[in-house]
Amino acid sequence: MASIAVQERTQPVGRRLLVKMLVVGAAGLAVGPYLNPLNWLSGLGASLDVPSSGLGFRIYTVNGIPKFDPATWKLTLGGTPGGASGSGAPQALSLDDLKALPQVDQTNDFHCVTGWVVKNVVWSGVRLSTLLDSMGIPSSGKWVTFYSGDGEYVDSLSMEQATSPNVLVAHTMNGSPLPAEQGAPLRLVIPEMYGYKGVKWLNRIEIKPTLDIGYWEQRGYPVDAFIKK
């Protein structure tokens, strides 16, 4: 997949509008599990018509749930020159390739910025730092950008954040393959941050010298989404 140029489709929201967005998201607790907080914002997003994976998750999407073919799906690893083999040439890993790497199981609470929490979710996958090491991290590589297979959602972490041992590229949740609405076949898990940083349907990771502003950050959310204790 080619690098996606992220363009502004709506004006960034201010503090008052951000509060309104959070209120609308929280209202989803009463309205139902498939409320899309984007529906009222310039018609962006699409409501979901899929079974919930349960556990208390509210499923949000900005561009529907993408389909993938397990036989041909690949995770592309690329970025700044000077990466793997000194050339920065992209790598393409199948799901089997990822499962052949050292695997990690970790149990974390999942926090949505709108206020709801799912306790003790068991994620399984590969440490992001393992993938970054395989790419080769050049001195100019200060940021890591993550792309969703929905063709719309993008987010980033600083290299320091990305190399935390708790950051996981997960293919399994609670002992089963990720459900479609949870990001199958692959999603990013960042336990210390709110869920909007955990890109679902992950299909590309790039190392970059500059920050790519994420989808929700363009609309007023904090770039550093650390959970408030």
Instruction: Identify the CATH number of the domain in which residue 125 sits.
Output: 3.90.420.10
Residue 99 is assigned to a structural domain of this protein: yes
Q: What is the pLDDT of residue 112?
A: 95
pTM of the model: 0.76
Q: For 61-107, how does the pLDDT look when each residue is reduced to its tens digit (9 = 90+)?
A: 899 999 999 999 999 999 766 544 334 678 999 999 999 999 999 99
Q: For 46-58, how does the pLDDT look when each residue is reduced to its tens digit (9 = 90+)?
A: 334 444 556 789 9
Give the range of the structural domain holding residue 202, as residue numbers without chain letter. Answer: 66-219
Domain total for the chain?
1
Q: Is there a contact between 143 and 210 (Cβ–Cβ < 8 Å)?
A: yes
In 4-18, which positions are buried (b, 16+ CB within 10 angstroms) versus exposed (e)? Answer: bebeeeeeebeeeeb
Residue 20 is assigned to a structural domain of this protein: no
Residue 154 is assigned to a structural domain of this protein: yes
Residue 14 is assigned to a structural domain of this protein: no
pLDDT of 14 over the 60 cut: no
Residue 200 is assigned to a structural domain of this protein: yes
227: DSSP letter? P
Q: For 156-203, how does the pLDDT look when each residue is reduced to its tens digit (9 = 90+)?
A: 999 999 999 999 999 999 999 999 999 999 999 999 999 999 999 999
